[in-house]
């Protein structure tokens, strides 16, 4: 085969250039060669999720999808971990009076903090659809990774917990450092994973094993359970990830799109959208049970971090960012 012929069947000769990074409120976007790199950029806050996160993620995924030079989208985080979940301190400590609007003007809508605050008042009547209308916008943003035309890869180091897993589990491939921590401890109180992806990624019994206890997996265990495709030692995570995205990026773009669509059709036929809807409703309900209100009131008394430490105390004893299973 001639060099020209090889270039055609591989979808072109490629582009080894690098674009200047683009800053969003919660992440940065940069194209290097055929890879679009989306990097969460709130390291001091553990890359916690804000109302801007799903908007930024959706916009960055669309940018990568429309760029003909891009073949694969890589999602990672700066600092000590991938993502520590939702930025809930203000919400838990102040009866949901945190800023649900983000960078938008949403006065009077379901994203207005005053609307959510009134809806979360234990002395009033809770409207679950007001809660769902707000939370579903987060999950739809995260799902842009699943519905992107191009393959998406999550590179996880340090920790990926709670809402962080709602993001990672929507990626087509997960690589995780062997010593990282991944799981959804809020199922113990005040949360149900709104993405609804655990059973689809792990199967029924293993998903229940995690979510009926709120236990987390180490990266090594995540690989053994089939949640991650690789779990290299921390020092090797970057190299192994670059090797994978390079191999994916060598494929013709049309082939990548056809393969992803074909395999997504099987995943979606399992009812991913229905799981997401039900899980998002139940996530709202979990914050309005007797136990959910008690957790919020405890957070208001002693602070969110202390309330979480108490939640994750005995018999679990796994509070904190690192994997520590007895």
| In-domain check, residue 324 | no
Q: Which helix (H) or strand (E) holds 155?
A: strand 152-156
pLDDT at 174: 98
What are the φ/ψ torsions at residue 261 (nearest 5 degrees)?
-60, -40
| In-domain check, residue 230 | yes
Q: Would you give the distance in Å from CA 278 to the centre of its chain?
A: 18
| In-domain check, residue 286 | yes
| In-domain check, residue 86 | yes
Cα separation, 59 vs 48, in Å, equals: 18
pLDDT > 70: percent of the chain? 90
pLDDT digits (tens, 9 = 90+) for 190-244: 999 999 999 999 999 999 999 999 999 999 999 999 999 999 999 999 999 999 9
pTM of the predicted model as reported, rounded to 2 decimal places: 0.92
- pLDDT of residue 80 exceeding 60, the answer is yes
- Is the model more confident about 223 or about 2? 223
What are the φ/ψ torsions at residue 182 (nearest 5 degrees)?
-140, 135
| In-domain check, residue 246 | yes
- Average pLDDT value for the chain: 91
Residue range 281-303: mean pLDDT, rounded: 94
Q: What is the CATH number of the domain that holds 293?
A: 3.90.226.10
Point out which residues pair with 27 in neighbouring strands: 40
| In-domain check, residue 268 | yes
Q: Give yes or no for a cis peptide into 315 (omega within 30° of 0).
A: yes
CB 25 within 8 A of CB 141: no
**Residue 314: how many other CB atoms lie within 10 Å:** 7
| In-domain check, residue 323 | no
| Beta pairing, strands 27-32 & 22-23 | antiparallel
Q: Say how many domains are in the chain.
A: 1
pLDDT digits (tens, 9 = 90+) for 54-74: 999 999 999 999 999 999 999
| In-domain check, residue 133 | yes
Determine the 3-state secondary structure of 7 from DSSP.
helix
The whole domain housing 253 covers 11-311
What are the φ/ψ torsions at residue 241 (nearest 5 degrees)?
-65, -45
pLDDT at 242: 98
- pLDDT of residue 319 exceeding 90, the answer is no
């Amino acid at each position: 085969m001639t060099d020209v012929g090889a270039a055609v069947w591989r979808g072109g000769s490629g582009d080894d250039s690098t674009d200047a990074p683009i800053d969003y409120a919660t992440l940065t976007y940069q194209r290097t060669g055929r890879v679009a790199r989306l990097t969460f950029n709130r390291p001091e806050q553990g890359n916690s999720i804000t109302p801007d996160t799903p908007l930024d993620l959706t916009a960055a995924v669309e940018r990568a999808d429309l760029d003909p030079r891009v073949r694969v989208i890589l999602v990672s985080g700066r600092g000590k971990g991938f993502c520590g979940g939702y930025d809930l301190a203000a919400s838990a400590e102040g009866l949901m009076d945190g800023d649900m609007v983000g960078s938008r003007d949403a006065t009077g809508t379901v994203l207005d903090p005053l609307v959510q605050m009134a809806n979360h008042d234990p002395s009033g009547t809770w409207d679950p659809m007001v809660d769902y209308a707000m939370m579903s916008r987060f999950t739809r943003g995260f799902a842009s990774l699943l519905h992107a035309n191009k393959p998406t890869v999550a590179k996880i180091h340090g920790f990926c917990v709670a809402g962080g897993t709602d993001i990672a589990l929507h990626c087509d491939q997960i690589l995780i450092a062997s010593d990282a921590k991944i799981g959804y401890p809020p199922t113990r109180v005040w949360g149900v994973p709104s993405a609804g992806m655990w059973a689809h990624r792990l199967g029924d019994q293993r998903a229940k094993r995690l979510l009926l206890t709120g236990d987390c997996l180490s990266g090594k265990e995540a690989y053994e359970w089939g949640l991650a495709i690789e779990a290299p030692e921390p020092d090797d995570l970057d190299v192994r990830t670059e090797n994978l995205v390079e191999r994916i990026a060598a494929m013709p773009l049309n082939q990548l799109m056809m393969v992803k669509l074909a395999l997504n059709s099987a995943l979606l036929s399992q009812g991913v959208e229905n799981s997401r809807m039900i899980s998002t409703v139940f996530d709202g309900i979990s914050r309005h049970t007797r136990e959910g209100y008690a957790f919020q009131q405890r957070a208001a008394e002693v602070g969110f971090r202390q309330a979480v430490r108490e939640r994750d105390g005995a018999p679990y004893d796994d509070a904190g960012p690192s994997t520590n299973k007895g």
